Amino acid sequence: MTGPAPDRAKVALVTGSSSGIGKAVAERLAADGHRVVINSVRSVEEGEKVAAGLPDAVYIGADVSVEEQARNLVAQTIEHFGRLDVLVNNAGRTRAVPHADLTGASPELWREILDLNVIGTWQTTVAAMPHLTRTGAGCVVNISSIAGSRPAGSSIPYAVSKAAIEHMTRLLANTVGPEVRVNAVAPGLVETAWTQNSDFFAPIAEHVRKTAPLRRVGRPDDVAEAVAGLTRAHYTTGQVLLVDGGAHLI
């Protein structure tokens, strides 16, 4: 038995979507019928390849930590597709710094992480909001982390940035309804090229496999499934959905 044909009218912009979680989210939303904007800063060739592999997608390079580029990313999305229904704020960065290494979390690192993870999310959302509002059923999904609510994560600046994103999610949801819903997905450890090749994450992954109720670390598709669900959850806003295999229970 087949479901309804995909609605190719809706448009989703996924920042930081040339690889990893963002790529999986873009592919899932495309499979659900969205026309998709792929975005990255440096990995242009990879981003263009992702876009070329989807039914109706375009690649737009932009650094959302720069206000003008964030605005231009949204403007080009509207110029190309004529509308915007879903914004997924996935672009982010971190650096592995043990939490006890206070001097390692330099002011420069704080600014680098907060500029993209927090300010970039804010700037892109503000630029997108008039277009999301115009649809009458716009949706924002922010990508957070389990580190946003627990004393965990690759560095203290990263964890703080994710805590800020989660509270931003709640504040925006309380402000922009009923026309736009705002939610967040908070993954636990997810297998990506970066985490798989990092000595920092190897013991964490082993601990999760041994102790988390679902006995495995996450995959990008697990996060994409949660994002797709929130785009369809029309009576849900201001929520942060943990996608961690139950790791928060241990």
**Enzyme catalytic residues:** 158
136 phi, psi to nearest 5 deg:
80, -5
CA distance 22 to 12: 12
CA distance 74 to 62: 10
Distance CA 21, CA 27 (A): 10
Measured in residues, the chain has a length of 250
Taking the C-alpha atoms of residue 117 and residue 146, their distance in angstroms, rounded to an integer, is 15
Quote the CA–CA distance of 37 and 26 in Å, as a whole number.
8
